[in-house]
Amino acid sequence: MRFDECARLLEAEVLVPPTDPEMEIRVACGSDLMSDVMAFACSANEMLLTGLVNPQVIRTAEMMDVKAVVFVRGKRPDDGILELARTRRVAVMRTACPMFVACGRLYAAGVRGKGE
C-alpha cells in the first residue's frame, strides 16, 4: 500500500512527506516502547505507529530503517522533531485514531506485521 493511501485510510495529516512519493508500506508495527521497536522491527518498507512524541522516535526509525512514522491519538510532534525527520529522511504523519484502530485499519487493508 502506498504511503499516500495509508494517509487517506488513517485520515492523517502528512507532516513530512516521503522522499519517494511512490513509497510502498508493506509492514507496520505499533509501539510506544522504542526498545520493542529495536527488538522486533527490522523490515524494509516498515511504518511505525506510536503515541510517543520525542526525538528518540525518529532516531530509532532511522536506526531500524523504518521509512515512516505515524503519531496516533492526535499527538503533534514539535518543529524540532519534524526537522530531525526531514534530515533523516523519515516520513511523518499524524492521525486522531487511537493506535488500535489505526493498526486495525492498516491490517484490514493488507499491511502486515513482521513475519506474516
DSSP 33-90: -HHHHHHH---SSEEEEES--SHHHHHHHHHTT--EEEE-TT----HHHHHHHHHHT-
pLDDT for 113 equals 83
Q: Residue 114 above 80 pLDDT?
A: no
- What are the residue ranges spanned by the domains of the chain? 3-108
Picking from 1-5, 11-15, 111-115, which range would have the lowest pLDDT averaged per residue? 111-115
3-108, CATH topology level: 3.40.1390
pLDDT for 43 equals 59
Calculate what percentage of the chain has a pLDDT beyond 90. Answer: 78
> pLDDT (tens digit, 9 = 90+) per residue, 25-74?
999 999 998 888 887 765 555 899 999 999 999 999 999 889 999 999 99
- How many residues belong to the chain? 116
